[in-house]
Chain A
């Protein structure tokens, strides 16, 4: 179910340019959308999820015009917004049943089976009869995932799905998504690079509404091979000095000391050692390049 996004632009009434000529082609696979907060990920996903009209551009999904044939798209769609609330005093099982009906799953037996399977998968079975308003943040997020997967959607849009999940639940969710993702189109936005690394066969990095990079994670990694250098820095002064001379793309704390990673075609100097490139390097490199421009 290929999704083609062409020249999408959107400026909000307050003047923020959320999307600038975004073009992407997303095939039948898991597509990761990486970017910092406010990069336009959510705007893009809302637009694909039929919730917002762009100022210009086009989106087609397997021959459907997403911008005009909204209801057709909605029939195929499973959407988990970045933030959502719930109706108070309604249980998860009631709400999922209700949403399944709205998604056209009218056969009672199938609906029951699906709702129960999802409650099991998202580990909400035990609390399925409890009011949603009593759920903790993680439980609520899992409910959000469950509702997005009702009715075997062929286009799944999940906006920051792993936010608020504990590590075990995050793994379980990624496994679930991976098992589905082989057959359908999944767009996953995140600012956690590992989500993309673990899951996505293609990815894009966007910032300030622009696509900085689109490609296969492994290929983008290969392009940086041998050009990432790492070094432990002792003092802040030294750190500042290096920052002004070199293209520092990230810094990590390791046992209280800064480990900086630098992008350079060849060794930037003493103390640096070559390290294997990581997806995070790709991400930070593009962000920092973009910030400089």
Chain B
């Protein structure tokens, strides 16, 4: 026992002295602290805004998360503790002493266990301290209950440490290979993630064994909490007893994995040999090779002692030699990177992850789609990006420090070459390795597309995305990592800073630091669309990348100047050296600074001067101000729109439109109306005129809300005409937040760009966290049924009842422009196409949209009991897959709805594709804009696949009844009459086609 104590305390002392212990602790501390202190950090904070951030659900969930990602930490602590003796060759000293197996294994294991528990206790302290952060959202922080902390910690984390730790300890003890120790954690982590995706892909309804057999517990957690209400989430811990959903599985799961831990320890106890001979029986590669070499050396015959003459060589120095030096150095550095196991482990992981994600590129949420290149790229690149940055971080450090780590610096630094040559070779080696990794990623994508049976490889898109968009960002990051590693005096401090800056970015962003120009390496978000390519995102992306690459390349130059050379590496000495080296670097530095300033200025000019720069918070403030100032007018009687007539010109190539419109307004209230209020959220309305004398009473900033007084009040029943201009002009580019409505190919905007009469309740902030932030009080709930004022207001367009509709829309010569209504006339004029649409005498909801794109059209006549209906699909020429499905669904829907509800009120039903910047389909009168993000590329691979296209088409068609024939008032329950019944309609159409069993799977 004394000996056990000796080993135990030794292990503890060792861990107390090592920095890694505290780093692990800090990782968990920071994670759990931020999960509470920042409401937009962490999975719980980001989801439902009512779940307590320090509640039992949140704590259990975060503890599980820490167990998943902590697998690697557990492996690192337990694995190395047993391997230490074999790595440092102390086993020869150790095992020649009378050490008992219990003392040795037990002491090491217990020491590791205590250390790991300490590291993970960061979760407890972080959460607890987070609840005191003054800036936190205290509406989401409950009073601290000890059991909310202790029970999850003991039953989730400690059990997990016991089980995983024992397993890793055993594997390490039995293999005694450093490679295995470092890989087993990562491998288990990966296998688990892959297992999860595979399991969720089966859409299994099994909630018992899946929970018990889950070694980490995410499925288990889901099985238990899937039907929990918010109140349960804030009061219930994972139950030890047999209560709740899937009773007992938490207990069974913990018992099972504890038993596995015990078994593995038993195995180690049985099979671990306590003798040197047995421990080293298997030749330990490197050591054996060294011994053989030395034996051979001793047996060599005696050589002459007379020295031979060395040949004469010429030394040539010049540009040619610099190039040769550069090439030789680059080759050497690539050689050292590619001849190490960790690199291949990273490549292996990258391939496995990319292939796994690539497999699911065509499977999402139970539906199958064709893995078109943007989806495949998103899948393989998304999972690989982290690896690209890991490689850059890791090898920037390795290459900067390699000569010093290997003690080769004495020779290296005295070689006749310039620091620049040396530095550029390091940089090149990393970039080349990254370029190869990108190629591997692309290859995985293409292979996965092939496996999925999709053969339209868009190589150009692969190359653009990987080598023009991603590679420069990796290059910039590499510059930065090289710079940091050059400036700091310790590799790990460097890693800390580099990773810190990387991790800090999204955090700063969520705190409102959104400016691309000061978030290191940031680029504005972009979306590739098959319809629109990279479209309007290109300039902002290009200039932000140019800006950051220039800045980081400048830092790269600084790091050339600061290159360590020689033994004197105090910062003072290196600064002196840097000044001496600086003159050679000045031209390049000047160029880079000019490029940074130029691209930065251009970006600033576009994002801040041509366009108003607003952060997410600014935009919320505008909405909050609107609510505060104008909600008082919500129930003010306003005239209702009864007719809309508009002429709109779309200029897709400029992402702009202009137009004029005329609203016919009627006072349907019982009292005269003296004021007309106009909301203009998009700053798109101008030149408002009435057909009687009026004057402007007030206008809010940004034209958000204007009040006009009519000199002669509008009497009940009287009609008023309102004319106006509308338009949107795109100027340059913005810092993200590009309006999705306007694209070179795929314009789609709606009545939101037209004047809205009265107050628009839809503009209010609805996220409760954001409302608290703006001190707005809870969102007003819908009025109860029968409430007189709201019962008279249309749910969808409060400012109108039925309207009549006429419009003329024009667009560029190669595009088609579409608005609700029957096409009356189409003509060309000045190279532009014009279309006149009208609903004639048919009344529609005041709900309309304009679209323009280069479309291929598919038309079909449907003949039903109430007359023919023209079915039309307007789609991108590449998206041929779903057209039949959409038409079939439309036919089936018309059949079913007309048979069971009422006749279709129109003689046409049109679907048109729009870019996937927004992912929805929306039912306008006889007109359904449908995002390429949720349709057009669907496929049915398996009998139980969700036929999403068929479903969405039927749902939107259903809205032609539920929402366009029957419209509820603005009272509780109205949404049931639109959304629920449209959904019901879609289910009915699905059931007609696929049968009842299929519906059961679909609905689970």
Which residues of A sit under 8 angstroms from B306, Cβ to Cβ? 175
Which residues of A sit under 8 angstroms from B340, Cβ to Cβ? 89
Which residues of B sit under 8 angstroms from A117, Cβ to Cβ? 308, 310-311
Structural contact, A152 and B312, CB atoms closer than 8 A: yes
> How far, in angstroms, from A198 to B317 measured CA to CA in the complex?
36
Whether A79 touches B315, Cβ cut-off 8 Å, given contacts A101-B328, A130-B293, is no
> How far, in angstroms, from A186 to B771 measured CA to CA in the complex?
80
Question: With an 8 A cutoff between CB atoms, is A135 at the interface?
Answer: yes
Structural contact, B315 and A75, CB atoms closer than 8 A: yes
> How far, in angstroms, from A172 to B309 measured CA to CA in the complex?
13
> How far, in angstroms, from A139 to B329 measured CA to CA in the complex?
24
Structural contact, B309 and A179, CB atoms closer than 8 A: yes
Please report whether the interface of chain B is mostly helix, strand, loop or mixed according to DSSP.
loop
B 300-319 binary contact with A (CB < 8 Å = 1; else 0): 10110111111111111100
Structural contact, A120 and B307, CB atoms closer than 8 A: no
- Chain B, range 407-434, C-beta contacts under 8 Å to A: 407-408, 410-411, 413-418
> How far, in angstroms, from A102 to B332 measured CA to CA in the complex?
12
Question: With an 8 A cutoff between CB atoms, is B324 at the interface?
Answer: yes
- Chain A, range 109-125, C-beta contacts under 8 Å to B: 110-111, 113-114, 117-118, 120-121, 123
> How far, in angstroms, from A176 to B410 measured CA to CA in the complex?
22
> How far, in angstroms, from A100 to B316 measured CA to CA in the complex?
11
> How far, in angstroms, from A71 to B303 measured CA to CA in the complex?
38
Structural contact, A46 and B567, CB atoms closer than 8 A: yes
Which residues of A sit under 8 angstroms from B230, Cβ to Cβ? none
> How far, in angstroms, from A136 to B289 measured CA to CA in the complex?
11
Question: With an 8 A cutoff between CB atoms, is B290 at the interface?
Answer: yes
Structural contact, A52 and B311, CB atoms closer than 8 A: no
Q: How far apart are B402's CB and chain A's nearest CB, in angstroms?
A: 8
Structural contact, B310 and A121, CB atoms closer than 8 A: yes
Structural contact, A51 and B324, CB atoms closer than 8 A: no
Counting chain B CB atoms within 10 Å of each CB, which of A104, A121, A135, A178 scores highest? A104
Question: With an 8 A cutoff between CB atoms, is B325 at the interface?
Answer: yes
> How far, in angstroms, from A46 to B936 measured CA to CA in the complex?
71
> How far, in angstroms, from A51 to B568 measured CA to CA in the complex?
8
Whether A123 touches B305, Cβ cut-off 8 Å, given contacts A81-B411, A87-B336, A87-B406, is no
Structural contact, B410 and A81, CB atoms closer than 8 A: yes
Q: How far apart are A214's CB and chain B's nearest CB, in angstroms?
A: 25
> How far, in angstroms, from A52 to B286 measured CA to CA in the complex?
36
> How far, in angstroms, from A239 to B943 measured CA to CA in the complex?
102
Question: With an 8 A cutoff between CB atoms, is A291 at the interface?
Answer: no
Which residues of A sit under 8 angstroms from B310, Cβ to Cβ? 114, 117-118, 121, 149, 152, 180
Structural contact, A151 and B408, CB atoms closer than 8 A: no
Q: Which of B302, B307, B406 contacts A86 (CB 8 A)?
A: B406
Structural contact, A51 and B290, CB atoms closer than 8 A: no
Which residues of A sit under 8 angstroms from B315, Cβ to Cβ? 75, 103-105, 151-152
Question: With an 8 A cutoff between CB atoms, is B573 at the interface?
Answer: yes
Structural contact, B303 and A51, CB atoms closer than 8 A: no
Count how many chain B residues have C-beta atoms less than 8 Å from C-beta atoms of the other chain. 54
Question: With an 8 A cutoff between CB atoms, is B693 at the interface?
Answer: no
Which residues of B sit under 8 angstroms from A210, Cβ to Cβ? none
Question: With an 8 A cutoff between CB atoms, is B566 at the interface?
Answer: yes
Structural contact, B414 and A104, CB atoms closer than 8 A: no
Question: With an 8 A cutoff between CB atoms, is B865 at the interface?
Answer: no
Which residues of A sit under 8 angstroms from B402, Cβ to Cβ? 87
Structural contact, B329 and A113, CB atoms closer than 8 A: no
Which residues of A sit under 8 angstroms from B293, Cβ to Cβ? 127, 130, 134-136, 139
Q: How far apart are B978's CB and chain A's nearest CB, in angstroms?
A: 68
Question: With an 8 A cutoff between CB atoms, is A195 at the interface?
Answer: no
Question: With an 8 A cutoff between CB atoms, is B825 at the interface?
Answer: no
Which residues of A sit under 8 angstroms from B407, Cβ to Cβ? 83-85
Which residues of A sit under 8 angstroms from B312, Cβ to Cβ? 152
A137's nearest neighbour on chain B, judged by CB, is: B294
A 70-97 binary contact with B (CB < 8 Å = 1; else 0): 0100110101111111111110000000
The contact size tier of chain A is 35 or more
Q: How far apart are B988's CB and chain A's nearest CB, in angstroms?
A: 68
B 544-568 binary contact with A (CB < 8 Å = 1; else 0): 0000000000000000000001111
Q: How far apart are B400's CB and chain A's nearest CB, in angstroms?
A: 15
A130's nearest neighbour on chain B, judged by CB, is: B293
Whether A84 touches B415, Cβ cut-off 8 Å, given contacts A106-B320, A113-B311, A127-B293, is no
> How far, in angstroms, from A179 to B332 measured CA to CA in the complex?
32
Interchain Cβ contacts within 8 Å, total number: 161
Question: With an 8 A cutoff between CB atoms, is A213 at the interface?
Answer: no
Which residues of B sit under 8 angstroms from A176, Cβ to Cβ? 307
Which residues of A sit under 8 angstroms from B309, Cβ to Cβ? 179
Which residues of A sit under 8 angstroms from B289, Cβ to Cβ? 134
B406's nearest neighbour on chain A, judged by CB, is: A85
B 319-356 binary contact with A (CB < 8 Å = 1; else 0): 01100110011011001100110000000000000000
> How far, in angstroms, from A113 to B308 measured CA to CA in the complex?
13
Question: With an 8 A cutoff between CB atoms, is B570 at the interface?
Answer: yes
Q: Which of B329, B332, B565 contacts A90 (CB 8 A)?
A: B332
> How far, in angstroms, from A82 to B411 measured CA to CA in the complex?
10
Q: Which of A52, A75, A101, A147 contacts B567 (CB 8 A)?
A: A52
Q: Which of A81, A90, A126, A127 contacts B335 (CB 8 A)?
A: A90
Q: How far apart are B724's CB and chain A's nearest CB, in angstroms?
A: 75
- Chain B, range 258-273, C-beta contacts under 8 Å to A: none
Which residues of A sit under 8 angstroms from B290, Cβ to Cβ? 134, 136
Whether A89 touches B339, Cβ cut-off 8 Å, given contacts A101-B325, A101-B328, A106-B321, is yes
Which residues of A sit under 8 angstroms from B325, Cβ to Cβ? 101-102
Whether A52 touches B316, Cβ cut-off 8 Å, given contacts A83-B407, A121-B307, is no
Question: With an 8 A cutoff between CB atoms, is B205 at the interface?
Answer: no
Question: With an 8 A cutoff between CB atoms, is A289 at the interface?
Answer: no
Question: With an 8 A cutoff between CB atoms, is B691 at the interface?
Answer: no
Which residues of B sit under 8 angstroms from A168, Cβ to Cβ? 302, 305
B566's nearest neighbour on chain A, judged by CB, is: A51
> How far, in angstroms, from A111 to B321 measured CA to CA in the complex?
13
Counting chain B CB atoms within 10 Å of each CB, which of A107, A149, A178 scores highest? A107
> How far, in angstroms, from A56 to B884 measured CA to CA in the complex?
87
Question: With an 8 A cutoff between CB atoms, is B297 at the interface?
Answer: yes
Counting chain A CB atoms within 10 Å of each CB, which of B321, B340, B418 scores highest? B321
A135's nearest neighbour on chain B, judged by CB, is: B293
Question: With an 8 A cutoff between CB atoms, is A23 at the interface?
Answer: no
Question: With an 8 A cutoff between CB atoms, is B278 at the interface?
Answer: no
Which residues of B sit under 8 angstroms from A152, Cβ to Cβ? 310, 312-313, 315
Structural contact, A71 and B416, CB atoms closer than 8 A: yes
Structural contact, A75 and B406, CB atoms closer than 8 A: no
Whether A98 touches B311, Cβ cut-off 8 Å, given contacts A79-B410, A126-B300, is no
Question: With an 8 A cutoff between CB atoms, is B670 at the interface?
Answer: no
Which residues of B sit under 8 angstroms from A136, Cβ to Cβ? 290, 293-294, 297
Q: How far apart are A98's CB and chain B's nearest CB, in angstroms?
A: 5
> How far, in angstroms, from A126 to B622 measured CA to CA in the complex?
79
> How far, in angstroms, from A100 to B410 measured CA to CA in the complex?
16
B 48-65 binary contact with A (CB < 8 Å = 1; else 0): 000000000000000000
Q: Which of A74, A77, A120, A151 contacts B308 (CB 8 A)?
A: A120
A selection of 12 A-B contacts at a CB cut-off of 8 Å is A49-B414, A51-B414, A51-B566, A53-B576, A86-B406, A87-B332, A101-B328, A102-B325, A102-B415, A103-B415, A139-B293, A171-B305
The 6 closest A-B pairs by CB, nearest first: A81-B410, A85-B407, A51-B566, A104-B315, A74-B416, A176-B307
Knowing that A87-B332, A121-B308 touch, tell me 19 more A-B residue pairs with CB under 8 angstroms.
Answer: A13-B570, A46-B567, A51-B410, A52-B566, A52-B568, A75-B315, A81-B411, A84-B411, A87-B402, A89-B335, A98-B328, A107-B316, A110-B311, A113-B313, A118-B310, A126-B296, A127-B296, A134-B286, A134-B289
